[in-house]
Structure 1
Amino acid sequence: MAKPENFKLINLAIQGGGAHGAFAWGVIDRLLEDGRIHLEGISGTSAGSMNAVVLAYGLLVGGREGAREKLRNFWQDVSKSGKLYNPCQQLPWEKFWYGNNMEHAIFYQMFQAMTHWFSPYQLNPQDFNPLKDILEANVDFDRLNDCQITKLFLSATNVRTGQVKVFRTEEITAQSTLASACLPDIFKAVEIDGEYYWDGGYSGNPVLFPFFYHVESSDIMIIHVNPIERSAPPMLPSEIFNRVNEISFNSALLKEFRAIDFVHKLMDKDWIKEEYKEKFKYIFLHSVSADKALADLSAASKFSSDWDFLLMLYNRGRAKMSEWLYRHFDNLGKRSSVNLDEKLVKK
């Protein structure tokens, strides 16, 4: 297929956030539908890793339309599985009264209490995870390992060292994808080659640094799932927990923003010695923000697998990406559409 005249090459970084990953699905679907953007590299964490591997595999076997279909099938399977295995489902009257506010659901409250008193080694000794079957049904990982049309980078947190582990295309399996999404209060640590891993959100949500070294494109588009800013301080216990969750899963990303901002200043002020300049890349950073799009949702709703809820998030993601394309597409390859000083890196 011929490339569009205004074809752009970028790298995509997809945050994790449980069911809120359906917002990222909507963003990706609209990006694929638009057709003007090609993905040189894809980085993902947790639910972002799920989106990343399904996206890459779909592109590999069916191009853009194949990727869109694969992503829809994946999220439909997540919803169907949730009807059988999700311990946090809302009762009909709870959904009527509270909408998507899962923190009021009795089963959610019971589940949260149990995770504070019992570990997954007690609650789930067989380490059952329905996502494993869903991943293997939607992705042929042997074929994915040979993918040449894009580069994959999935992050997980090494339990022993506390450091981020980045799995590259040829290393990615269902197991490493599950490692990237392993919340330690719900699932046992995932063992890979003698090391144990937890959710990548603790150390990189998502990681950006592979794009500094392993790709040519200077553009990085981040799909946010965890709001960086909230308009008011939390007051209720559930609100405090939600905000702690968001801050924790944004902290590593904000550190990478600061590093990018620092290098930008060195380059702008010509403070880098001539012999080292070629080792640095000027990054053009772009953000599909969740601050307003997901402002009405708490962290508890990340446990919802209701199809209507996932579709709502999907539609919000599509709308947000449509807005971004209209306002910022022409910045690609030329400049950042995010001002780190003003918006993302608070002094």
Structure 2
Amino acid sequence: LDDFWRAVARKGRFSPVQRMPWDVAWGNWSIENTPGYLFFDTMSRVFSPYVANPLGLNPLRDVIEQEIDFGNVRACKSMELFISATNVETGQLRVFSDGEIDIDTVMASACLPQLFRAVEIKGVPYWDGGYGGNPALFPFFKSTATEDVLLVQINPVVREGTPKSANEIQNRIDEITFNAGLLREFRSIAFVKELIAAGRLPHGEYRDIRMHRIDADEAFKDLSASSKVNAEWAFLTYLRDLGRTAASDWLEENYDAVGKRPTLD
């Protein structure tokens, strides 16, 4: 994992989207006011990736092909891996697993249509899976035996205040859009739990899912969506350390609840 993110950071050195010196001095990780970001943001609203990037170049693909042995991934039987993408034609979520996992399924799951051409798999175009589920939880209920699900959430559900600038409005629209599918699944889980508790559904046939969540909403509230294209190694290690702290805090507070009760309401 360290090798992967170091490779991403090396690719990021050549990006025209970089923080300004005063942002570095003030510790501001967001880059929405930098000339490079403003230029590419404007271009993405005017030109589609089919015009602006006719060769379909994507530096992330090179990194993934270099760092991940998909043969080993497909051969692994000790754990289940699910990767989701959104079918562009139907709008339905497609979940890939087991022998389907390869470079194309990974790239499809991370394909933002404003930046990259749709990834075609067996003639079907796909975009980022976040449009259909971010993440999709139902594979855990259908394809595994667990009743505990731990969600690591990177998009804040709650962001206080009304966005006023064009960037803030678009950022919040993106967060709401990408969280919508997850919130629907939360409501479905809560509904099934209520029916099981009321004796209207047999627990043997329907699982009483215990949801848990690790998040860093307080730390993320000062980061705009533009920070997602910041590939500086210093920023990546900042996020890594945030994640470790959030995970440690969650384990200290909630570890004893695993297998017994949900910690996410």
Taking structure 2 as the reference length, the TM-score comes to 0.97
The one-letter code sitting in structure 1 at the alignment partner of 2:12 is G
Select the residue among 169, 172, 180 that pairs with 1:251.
180
Supply the distance in 2 between the matched residues of 1:149 and 1:229 (Cα, whole angstroms). Answer: 36
Supply the distance in 1 between the matched residues of 2:235 and 2:64 (Cα, whole angstroms). Answer: 21
The RMSD of aligned alpha carbons is: 1.3
Give the direction of change, closer, same or farther, for the CA distance of 1:289–1:94 in structure 2 (3 Å limit).
Answer: closer
> What is the CA-CA distance between 1:143 and the residue it aligns to?
1.7
Q: Where does 1:265-276 land on structure 2 (aligned, <5 Å)?
A: 265-272=194-201, 274=202
Secondary structure at the residue paired with 1:150? coil
> What is the CA-CA distance between 1:170 and the residue it aligns to?
1.3
Find out whether 1:173 has 2:102 as its counterpart.
Answer: yes
Whether contact under 8 Å (1:90, 1:106) holds in the other structure is: no
Whether contact under 8 Å (1:157, 1:180) holds in the other structure is: yes
Which protein, 1 or 2, shows the higher relative CO under an 8 Å CA cutoff with sep ≥ 6?
Answer: 1
Residue of structure 1 in register with 2:70 after alignment? 141
Residue of structure 1 in register with 2:250 after alignment? 324
Residue of structure 2 in register with 1:3 after alignment? none
Whether contact under 8 Å (1:221, 1:287) holds in the other structure is: yes
Give the direction of change, closer, same or farther, for the CA distance of 1:104–1:211 in structure 2 (3 Å limit).
Answer: same
Residue of structure 2 in register with 1:235 after alignment? 164
Whether contact under 8 Å (1:94, 1:104) holds in the other structure is: no
Q: Where does 1:238-317 land on structure 2 (aligned, <5 Å)?
A: 238-272=167-201, 274=202, 277-317=203-243
The one-letter code sitting in structure 1 at the alignment partner of 2:40 is F
Whether contact under 8 Å (2:23, 2:29) holds in the other structure is: no
Supply the distance in 2 between the matched residues of 1:307 and 1:143 (Cα, whole angstroms). Answer: 27
Supply the distance in 2 between the matched residues of 1:98 and 1:75 (Cα, whole angstroms). Answer: 21
> What is the CA-CA distance between 1:87 and the residue it aligns to?
3.9
Supply the distance in 1 between the matched residues of 2:249 and 2:204 (Cα, whole angstroms). Answer: 35
Whether contact under 8 Å (2:30, 2:230) holds in the other structure is: no
Residue of structure 2 in register with 1:218 after alignment? 147
> What is the CA-CA distance between 1:231 and the residue it aligns to?
2.1
Residue of structure 2 in register with 1:77 after alignment? 7
Supply the distance in 2 between the matched residues of 1:289 and 1:121 (Cα, whole angstroms). Answer: 36
Select the residue among 106, 109, 113 that pairs with 1:184.
113
> What is the CA-CA distance between 1:90 and the residue it aligns to?
2.3
The one-letter code sitting in structure 2 at the alignment partner of 1:228 is V
> What is the CA-CA distance between 1:221 and the residue it aligns to?
0.4
Supply the distance in 2 between the matched residues of 1:92 and 1:172 (Cα, whole angstroms). Answer: 41
Residue of structure 1 in register with 2:48 after alignment? 119
> What is the CA-CA distance between 1:133 and the residue it aligns to?
1.4
Whether contact under 8 Å (1:189, 1:196) holds in the other structure is: yes
> What is the CA-CA distance between 1:94 and the residue it aligns to?
4.5
> What is the CA-CA distance between 1:279 and the residue it aligns to?
2.1
Supply the distance in 2 between the matched residues of 1:303 and 1:87 (Cα, whole angstroms). Answer: 11
Q: Where does 1:155-166 land on structure 2 (aligned, <5 Å)?
A: 155-166=84-95
Find out whether 1:99 has 2:28 as its counterpart.
Answer: yes
Secondary structure at the residue paired with 2:82? strand
Encode CA deviations 1:304-335: one digit per residue, 9 max, x unaligned.
00111111111111111110000000011111
Whether contact under 8 Å (1:221, 1:286) holds in the other structure is: yes
Whether contact under 8 Å (2:216, 2:242) holds in the other structure is: no
> What is the CA-CA distance between 1:192 and the residue it aligns to?
0.4
Taking structure 1 as the reference length, the TM-score comes to 0.74
The 10-residue stretch of structure 1 (134-143 or 113-122) with the greater mean CA deviation from structure 2: 134-143
> What is the CA-CA distance between 1:213 and the residue it aligns to?
1.2
> What is the CA-CA distance between 1:169 and the residue it aligns to?
2.0
Supply the distance in 2 between the matched residues of 1:327 and 1:216 (Cα, whole angstroms). Answer: 25
User: Is there any run of 5+ residues in structure 2 with no aligned partner, and where?
Assistant: none
The one-letter code sitting in structure 1 at the alignment partner of 2:198 is K
